[in-house]
């Protein structure tokens, strides 16, 4: 089996490539390196059947040889990244999605779209099940990401209905783990980098907003479970249903790093969701999947990876 992973040099893409290669698949990672790093592919570089193709998937592209699965993960994902690249984000979610769907259609390949909990916007229903249609501001600053992903879901669904492409849509909730850039801008890497540097941990708002954090190994198992399943219904939430406030997360990171950092409170960004938690009943029923790594254990492993990076940097 041969899989194409767009965004393969990103945080999730790198983990997916490693797991796919580990399962004996041939993998082509396609990435324009806008937010990704070749270092995320270090574990698979040189593996038989692995290839890296530097390309912007918003421009047309073809891949030589057989294609059995297309995993479309290319997109800026952290708020600072997509706010700095608004048009590129809309393009990769729209034109880029169509290019990857065409690749799947031409090859009769199965297709996995990396969608997001952001399609629920600032949700009015809690926890969020796939049947909830969301509460998204279509013209707010975050809309470039949220609406790009909503369009991508609509486009993928149209390819299933019109061309019979075997489309799966994963609504990914906050995922963290080794491989995240310290300057990524999302809460977990921000807090860990700040705690290790002895700087105040920055909380936007009063910290009472909730998120659910899924360790990357769990997320990858859920995503590949969905890709390889017979599920032909609509989108599926893949995330951790355990809800934590941002303040709890900050305090846990301070405790686990043994840091003496304080917490600094800053104004809440526009349209920042107040509560975010997946209902994963569908994934449990259809895939038999649920997260297994606790937040404390996942943070320990992530902090340890961050410490190794700092150690490596200081030895260069």
Ligand X SMILES: NC(=O)c1ccc[n+]([C@@H]2O[C@H](COP(=O)([O-])OP(=O)(O)OC[C@H]3O[C@@H](n4cnc5c(N)ncnc54)[C@H](O)[C@@H]3O)[C@@H](O)[C@H]2O)c1
User: Could you tell me which of 141, 159, 145, 138 has the C-alpha nearest to residue 91?
Assistant: 145
Count of CB atoms within 10 A of residue 184's CB? Answer: 20
Tell whether residue 119 is a contact of ligand X (CB under 6 A): no
Q: Looking at beta carbons only, is 55 or 200 nearer to ligand X?
A: 55
Helix (H, G, I), strand (E, B) or coil at 28: strand
Count of CB atoms within 10 A of residue 264's CB? Answer: 12
Count of CB atoms within 10 A of residue 267's CB? Answer: 8
Q: Dihedral, CA atoms, 184, 186, 189, 192, nearest 10 degrees?
A: 130
Only one of the segments 55-63, 161-169, 242-250, 276-284 lies at the binding site for ligand X (rule: CB under 6 A); that segment is 55-63
Tell whether residue 175 is a contact of ligand X (CB under 6 A): yes
Tell whether residue 238 is a contact of ligand X (CB under 6 A): no
Pick the catalytic residue: 120, 145, 159, 176?
145
Q: What residues numbered 60-99 form the site for ligand X, per CB under 6 A?
A: 73-77, 81, 92, 96
Helix pair 143-163, 86-107: axis angle to 10 deg: 20
Tell whether residue 289 is a contact of ligand X (CB under 6 A): no
Tell whether residue 128 is a contact of ligand X (CB under 6 A): no
Tell whether residue 56 is a contact of ligand X (CB under 6 A): yes
Which of 3, 4, 5, 12 is close enough to bind ligand X by CB under 6 A? 12
To the nearest whole angstrom, how small is the minimum distance from the Cβ of residue 255 to ligand X? 23
User: Could you tell me which of 248, 243, 169 has the C-alpha nearest to residue 210?
Assistant: 243
Q: Which two tokens stand for residue 15?
A: 């983990």
Tell whether residue 241 is a contact of ligand X (CB under 6 A): no
Which of 21, 28, 34, 222 is close enough to bind ligand X by CB under 6 A? 34
Q: Is 204 a residue of the active site?
A: no
Helix (H, G, I), strand (E, B) or coil at 125: coil
Residue positions annotated with a catalytic role: 145
**Residues found near ligand X in the complex (CB under 6 A):** 6-7, 9-13, 31-36, 56-58, 73-77, 81, 92, 96, 114, 116, 172, 174-175
């Amino acid at each position: 089996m041969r899989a194409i992973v767009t965004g393969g040099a990103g945080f999730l893409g790198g983990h997916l490539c490693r797991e796919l290669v580990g399962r004996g698949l041939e993998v082509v990672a396609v990435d324009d390196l806008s937010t990704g790093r070749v270092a995320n592919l270090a574990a698979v570089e040189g593996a038989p059947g692995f290839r890296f193709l530097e390309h912007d998937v918003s421009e047309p592209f073809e891949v030589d040889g057989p294609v059995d699965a297309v995993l479309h993960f290319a997109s800026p994902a952290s708020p600072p990244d997509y706010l700095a690249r608004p048009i590129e984000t809309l393009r990769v979610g729209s034109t880029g999605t169509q290019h990857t769907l065409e690749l799947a259609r031409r090859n009769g390949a199965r297709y996995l779209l990396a969608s997001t909990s952001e399609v629920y916007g600032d949700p009015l229903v809690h926890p969020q099940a796939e049947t909830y249609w969301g509460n998204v501001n279509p013209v707010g600053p975050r809309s470039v990401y949220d609406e790009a992903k909503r369009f991508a879901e609509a486009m993928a669904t149209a390819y299933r209905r019109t061309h019979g492409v075997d489309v799966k849509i994963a609504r990914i909730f906050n995922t963290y783990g080794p491989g995240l850039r310290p300057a990524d801008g999302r809460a977990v890497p921000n807090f860990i980098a700040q705690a290790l540097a002895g700087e105040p941990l920055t909380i936007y708002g009063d910290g009472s907003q909730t998120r659910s954090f899924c360790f990357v190994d769990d997320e990858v198992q859920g995503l590949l479970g969905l890709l390889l399943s017979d599920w032909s219904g609509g989108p599926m939430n893949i995330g951790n249903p355990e809800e934590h406030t941002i303040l709890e997360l900050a305090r846990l990171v301070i405790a686990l790093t043994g840091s003496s950092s304080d917490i600094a409170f800053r104004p809440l960004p526009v349209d920042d969701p107040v509560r975010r938690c997946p209902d994963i009943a569908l994934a449990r029923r259809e895939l038999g999947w649920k997260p297994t790594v606790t937040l404390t254990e996942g943070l320990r492993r992530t902090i340890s990876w961050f410490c190794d990076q700092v150690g490596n940097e200081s030895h260069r």
